Structure 1
Amino acid sequence: MLIDYHTHHVRCGHASGELEDYVKRGIEIGLTQLGLSDHMPLLHVDPQTYYPEMAMPMEELPRYVEECLYLKEKYKDHIDIRVGLEGDYIEGYEKEIAAIINAYPWDYVIGSVHFLGEWDISDFRQTGNWEGKDIFAVYTQYYEAVKKAARSGMYDYLGHLDMIKRFGYVPEQDTWELEKAALDAVKESGMAIELNASGLRHPCKEMFPSERMLRYCQEVGIPVTLGSDAHQPERLGQYLDEARALLKSLGFNEIATFAGRKRLLVTF
């Protein structure tokens, strides 16, 4: 069972490749299931005045879904395509996010925290916002948002749970209690998380989430799915061999898959 549930394409503005390029690449590398999961349009900032190329325009969303469904049918004899969305959690915009989620026939929706207010902590152009900040306070704010995302009931699993470490800004204080509280919220909400392998190519040089967070997931029974977070077709599946090996070494023998917003655990 080879899956990759986290992918982006040219519509989002900061990725390359058409959706069909990812499908063809998925077939080429032998994926069993391919999840198409581009970014939800921006809701809380003006796309015209904010940083460019952050997410697909709102008018592209129905075209994205239509193309995903078309490719799902076209390639059904070659690869199992799952239609997804990476839905940013933005505090105060829950109704607007839910309206997008409820409007389309998703197989799954990833809940991701990228934004702390108008600061996208995943954007390399905005790392200057760390200057002068209390790093532990930023981590605290971030994990509070993660807990709210988990408890919102809008998502099927949470993406790159400790994305806050991406650029290597790490507080001197241990952050385990923040991480554990976020994972406890995931568990209480009956959700899964993803092991996002893309961290290996970022300054943190570690997958999202960390091994200690994964170990806790295994202990308390939080299901895990897999994603490369590919932004180019050639990165599809990148580092997922290492991700599967890590999960197996920690005692996982099942991964979470999704169809029609239902979760199914399968051996891998």
Structure 2
Amino acid sequence: MRDGHIHTPFCPHGSRDPLKKYVEQAIELGYKDISFTEHAPLPETFVDPTPAQDSAMTFKQLDPYLSSLNELKKMYKNDITIRIGLEIDFIVGYEEETARFLDEIGPELDDSILSVHFLRFNDQYFCVDYNTDMFSAIVKAFGSVSHVYEAYYQTLLQSVCADLGPYKPKRIGHLTLIQKFQKQFPCSVPMNEHILRILDQIQIRHYELDYNGAGVQKPLCQEPYPPHWVVHEAMKRNIPLIYGSDAHCANDLHQGRNVMVNEAFI
């Protein structure tokens, strides 16, 4: 019983549920091992394209975040394993800044996830999972839903292959996040080959996959990230799958797990 992807009150687009509430809820659900993986501060020169600019915590919050979790680890050391982590954004054009940040913060972390939330089109960036209005704008910029999907998976492949230094996260976050709004924006072109290419590179590098339950609860997705067929392909390649609730409030813990592929839980 492990949850490798949990957010915190330090998330500007999450809830104010205190850290203790997450831990107590996890213990009640039977979890033995959890990772807090808050959205790491974005590169200082990057402008968050979301309307509220609330995609990640600030650099000023980083020390309080780490110290709070270190206290929590001591408090619950006899009850549950708590890992201090971050969800790192891979942003095309900001690889060097990201690598420098990882060099600084890496020694203080127990766990981390590498995710793609932002796509670049010319000199403009879009957040792929913000809301349907922004996704519509992305489709307009790229010309079609399939072009958006292709750009996402190409960026994801870049993230897997990128040299971000010795502290690069070894777990790839919510592989199929681009499908969050799939019921409103269906993709007419199969992306299987793109996904299989990514899985092959994950296998070669001995990375892990975030097996993320959040998509199950999203009304326009209604399936985990990634869906079952991708999970089975990952299992064929012996890629470890780490369940992640992607909880942004304490009640989100365990979300999606009841409909996910039981034999893939690690």
TM-score after normalising by structure 2: 0.87
- Alignment of 1:83 with 2:84, yes or no, is yes
Measure how far apart 1:120 and its partner are.
0.5
The share of aligned pairs that are identical, in percent, is 29
Deviations 1:96-145 (A, max 9, x none): 21222232321111010000022010101522314433111111111111
1:232 to 2:249 alignment: yes
2:195 aligned to which of 162, 179, 189: 179
Match of 2:129 in 1: 122
| 1:137-156 paired onto structure 2 within 5 Å | 137-153=147-163, 154-156=168-170
Aligned-residue offset at 1:81: 0.3
Q: Which amino acid aligns with 1:225?
A: I
The amino acid that maps onto 2:210 is: E
The reply to whether residue 113 of structure 1 matches residue 116 of structure 2 is: yes
Aligned residue for 2:82, secondary structure, equals strand
> What residue identity is the alignment partner of 2:32?
T
Q: What pairs with 1:39-58 in structure 2 (closer than 5 Å)?
A: 39-43=39-43, 45-46=46-47, 51-58=52-59
Q: What is the SS of the residue equivalent to 2:248?
A: coil
Task: Give unpaired runs (5+ residues) of structure 1.
Answer: 256-268
Q: Secondary structure at the match of 2:86?
A: strand
Separation (CA, whole Å) in 2 of partners of 1:157 and 1:113: 12
- 1:220 alignment partner in structure 2: 237
Aligned length: 248
Matched residue SS, 1:62: helix
TM-score (norm 1): 0.87
Whole-angstrom distance in 2 between the partners of 1:39 and 1:221: 28
Deviation of 1:172 after TM superposition, in Å, equals 1.0
Aligned CA RMSD, in angstroms, stands at: 1.8
Task: Spell out, residue by residue over 1:35-81, the C-alpha distance to the aligned partner (whole angstroms, 9 max, x if none).
Answer: 10000112253359953322111110121111111111111011110
Write the letter of the residue equivalent to 2:3. Answer: D
SS in 2 for 1:149: helix
Counterpart position of 1:94: 95
Distance 1:28 1:174 in 2: 41
How far apart, CA to CA, are the structure 2 residues paired with 1:157 and 1:170?
A: 27
Question: Which residue, out of 206, 210, 216, partners 1:190?
Answer: 206
- Bigger mean CA deviation after superposition, 229-238 or 15-24: 15-24
| Aligned partner letter, 2:29 | I
Question: 2:145 and 2:154 mapped to 1: Cα distance?
Answer: 14
- Per the alignment, do residues 224 and 106 of structure 1 end up closer, same or farther by CA in structure 2, a change over 3 Å counting? same
Q: Determine the structure 2 residue equivalent to 1:164.
A: 178
Separation in 1, partners of 2:129, 2:48: 17
- What amino acid maps onto 1:106 in structure 2? L
Task: Report the counterpart of residue 64 of structure 1 in structure 2.
Answer: 65
Indicate if the aligned counterparts of 1:82 and 1:107 stay in contact, CA closer than 8 A.
yes
For residues 210 and 48 of structure 1, the distance between their equivalents in structure 2, rounded to whole angstroms, comes to: 28
- For 1:38, the equivalent position in structure 2 comes to 38
Residue of structure 2 equivalent to 1:5: 4
Mapped contact 2:172–2:208 kept (Cα < 8 A):
yes
Residues 1:49 and 1:160: Cα distance change in structure 2 (over 3 Å): closer
Query: Which segment is superposed worse, 119-128 or 191-200?
Result: 119-128
